[in-house]
Amino acid sequence: MTITVTTWSLEQTSPEDLRPAQRPPESAGVRIVRAEIPSPELSRFLYTAVGSDISWHDRLPWSREQWREVVERPAAETWVAYERGTPAGYVELDPQDDGVVEIVYFGLLPDFRGRRIGGHLLSFGTARAWDLAERWPDREPTKRVWLHTCSLDGPHALDNYRRRGFRLFDTKVETQPSP
């Protein structure tokens, strides 16, 4: 059986494009921390925990070595959101050539969706994409931040990206096997 999937690619071309979401109240106990020690196990956990109910499956067959290659790329970063000490979601940044940074993965664990963490995490992660060169002096300054989302992702994903100032630059519609 096949399904039709729409994939939207979005971008920002200036740090001024970012329209940050309101931060959760201090009482919510939300904090965002960079995972500074590359860990294939942590990345796999976050990927499966966030994507288990929204058809993320492309990385599931990966070996530990494949995960290691991703997390140990120069200037690659994973930022993890915690609510009162519990992992709530993450954003994975992939620095590319010519000052381009891709937000490769972004999302919340199912129990943390709808609690006003996603907009804040996306705002924070996008800001970290824009200031990536400050933490990695060998990198040229960021000129473009981009990402893609699809119709299999959470129902609020596309709206969240647009509210944060991302603009659509490409749309593809494809048929693929049902997840």
User: pLDDT by residue (tens digit) across 14-39?
Assistant: 999 999 999 988 888 999 999 999 99
Q: CA angle, 52 as apex, 49 and 54 as ends, to 5°?
A: 125
Domain-by-domain residue ranges, the chain? 2-177
- The encoded tokens of residue 81 equal 């959101």
H/E stretch holding 58 reads none
Its pTM stands at 0.95
User: pLDDT by residue (tens digit) across 35-58?
Assistant: 999 999 999 999 999 998 888 888
What superfamily in CATH does domain 2-177 come from? Gcn5-related N-acetyltransferase (GNAT) (3.40.630.30)
Which single residue is written with the structure tokens 């000129």? 143
Length in residues, the chain:
179
Residues β-bridged to residue 82: 31, 87
